[in-house]
Amino acid sequence: MIRVAADTAPDARRRGGPADREGLLTWVFLLPSVVYLTALVVLPLALAVALALSGVTATAPAYRFTGAGEFASALGEGAFWRALGDTLLFTAVSTVLVVLCGQVLAHVLLARFRGRWLVRPLVLLPWTTPAALSATSWRWLLDSADSPAGWLTRALGVPDGAWHTRPAVAMGAVVAVHVWRLTPLAAVVMAAGLTAIPRDVRDAARVDGAGAARRALEVTLPLALPSIAVAALVTAVLTCADVTVVAVLTHGGPGGATQTLATLAYTRGAEGGALGQGAAIAVLLLPLPLAGATGLFRVVRRRAER
């Protein structure tokens, strides 16, 4: 009986259909992801690099290879380095504030209270609102003398409607809009991380006599660190690559004080017609989120190994 089973097993495997072949199924399941990434990531990136290596403009659309000339031209401009500094400052401040506010909001989303069925969808409303509409609404609030935003700008010593002429206030307005938009998304991500923490771990810490602050810092925070890292990474990428909020709210002003690399690339390429230079600036923007993601995940990995 044993010999018969051993002899018939290879025949059964050979007679198996395509659904029994693990290697084939692996590629079948991966194919949609490969097509998606190729169509939405690889091809646009290749097109951007090709444009950056050319002198294509709106008035001279014929492709001509110019090498790294557009990169050298961008790196030699003071506007590029100023936009780079503004991008790093804008992204760092926005990410820190979004993570802090999102952590608080995540606990609110998980709390049990009367009326939470209404609060939860309202909390997500800023994220579901189109960015252009959000920026337009905030600009109207900042320009209005009777709005809370107008009261705040007057308290800062800024005349009514003149907030966009003050670099610090204009940058603060851009950061505020991004924090308002992205905090709900970060809160949802971090709330998912908090629900994944075993309740037994918290109960054990409480039985051991750990107070609320100690449980939060030594138990909840380390276990929720991966979700916090994901929320920070998503926030940083969306903030760094955003064009809509800055373009609608300040258009990079005053005097380029709120100009980021993304808006500079859009201004040069789409509005100015210098497609090659705009693509070069966009390609130079790419290492920023990649470096941030690499550093962030290294910190999380080292913390998890401890």
Write the DSSP string, 97-143: HHHHHHHHHHHHHHS--TTHHHHHHHHTHHHHS-HHHHHHHHHHHHH
Residue 9: helix, strand or coil by DSSP? helix
- Amino acid 36: pLDDT: 85
pTM above 0.75, yes or no: yes
- Amino acid 116: pLDDT: 79
Distance CA(107)–CA(39), nearest Å, equals 38
The verdict on domain 71-305 having CATH code 1.10.3720.10 is: yes
For residues 94 and 182, the answer to whether their CB atoms sit within 8 Å is: yes
C-alpha torsion sign, points 126, 102, 149, 84: negative
- Amino acid 158: pLDDT: 78
- Amino acid 303: pLDDT: 67
109-158 tens-digit pLDDT? 888 888 778 888 888 888 888 888 889 888 888 887 777 777 877 777 77
DSSP 156: T
Distance CA(190)–CA(303), nearest Å, equals 17
- Amino acid 18: pLDDT: 58
- Amino acid 55: pLDDT: 79
For residues 252 and 259, the answer to whether their CB atoms sit within 8 Å is: yes
What does the domain layout of the chain look like in residue ranges? Answer: 71-305
Task: List the chain pLDDT tens, one digit each, 306 residues.
Answer: 445 444 444 554 455 555 566 667 778 888 888 888 888 888 888 888 898 998 788 888 778 888 888 899 889 988 999 999 999 999 999 999 999 999 989 988 888 888 778 888 888 888 888 888 889 888 888 887 777 777 877 777 777 777 888 888 889 999 999 999 999 999 999 998 888 877 777 767 777 776 667 777 777 777 888 888 889 988 998 998 899 999 999 888 888 889 999 999 999 888 888 888 899 999 999 888 888 778 777 877 776 666
Residues in the chain: 306
Distance CA(192)–CA(223), nearest Å, equals 12
- Amino acid 298: pLDDT: 80
The residues facing 65 across adjacent strands are 54
